[in-house]
Amino acid sequence: MNIHEKYIKRCIELAKNGLGTTYPNPLVGSVIVHKDKIIGEGWHKKSGNPHAEVNAINSVQDKALLTKSTIYVSLEPCSHFGKTPPCSDLIIAKGIKKVVIGTVDPFAEVAGRGVKKLMEAGCDVQIGVLEKECQYLNKRFFTFHQKKRPYIILKWAQTADNFIAPKIQEKREPVWITNQYSKQLVHKWRSEEQAILVGTHTAIADNPKLNTRLWKGENPVRVVIDRELKIPKESALFDRSIKTIVLTETAETSAHNNLIFEKLDFKKHLPKQICEVLYRHNLQSLIIEGGAKTLQTFINSDLWDEARVFSGISEFYEGIKSPEFSGKIISKTNLKRDTLKIYKND
């Protein structure tokens, strides 16, 4: 690892602190180095708040050192006026002449303009240090801007004999396959993503809340497929406590109190239409939590980026089979007696 990689790696570590709180902005970390010593660092914490470069510069105690320092940033400094002034202008104004950038910003308002502005001001700019790692850090942001859809995460729990639900559910509530630690981790994941989707059967059978009650963080936007509006009106999904998008084919229904209806053509490519709706709502990431039919539909359409699969120790012997898919396993973790495997779509 060379010296630039060392500090960009630190930028990535800092940026991860903003996961779940920076939407619609990307995750960004920045460090300022003088004579191989970090004299300032920061990350972007929330949309509308100062960006990573601003926080890093503000944290430097001796501002006279800035003109002799190098600023490292995981993503290209912005060059436009949004909710905050351009970071590239601040770097120039502070007299920082050396800038090392992990990756160029895919957002059309930036997309190389920040780099160009810095170079035209006489800065020595180096781009592409740990580029793949910096792009992976912002996989949601890059997917949204480059593919015009949210980053899609499939998630389910399956028994030791590969069922995700029993044949018959006696009560209208979830049947737990995994333990409390796995359950809490799922709530943490929900706080990190912008939207969460379930199908009609899951909404009726489990009556899920789809919130983050077991973890401190923002609730994702709830999305539910309800073609014929069959889900009972007293369901937890319709309590209006969280923005909820209902995907249906029935006559137009007006939105009110956090409940939004989007009309789809269920005779056409459904996952693609869902992605288009979520893109219009500026949702950069989506967890699909079921059921089996919904998950399999996205798998068959090859519209998924990551799959997170829990395996418990219980057996159902019969019931609803877990989805069938192929992907590259990138991690395997044990949570007590549960096993979590994470795959990416190659």
Which residues are documented as binding site? 51, 78, 87, 157, 176, 190, 202, 206, 210, 213, 289
Is residue 53 annotated as part of the catalytic site, yes or no? yes
The residues with which 256 forms a beta bridge, in sequence order, are: 259
List residues forming the annotated binding site for substrate: 190, 206, 210, 213, 289
Catalytic residue among 53, 76, 193, 262: 53
Q: What residues are labeled active site?
A: 53
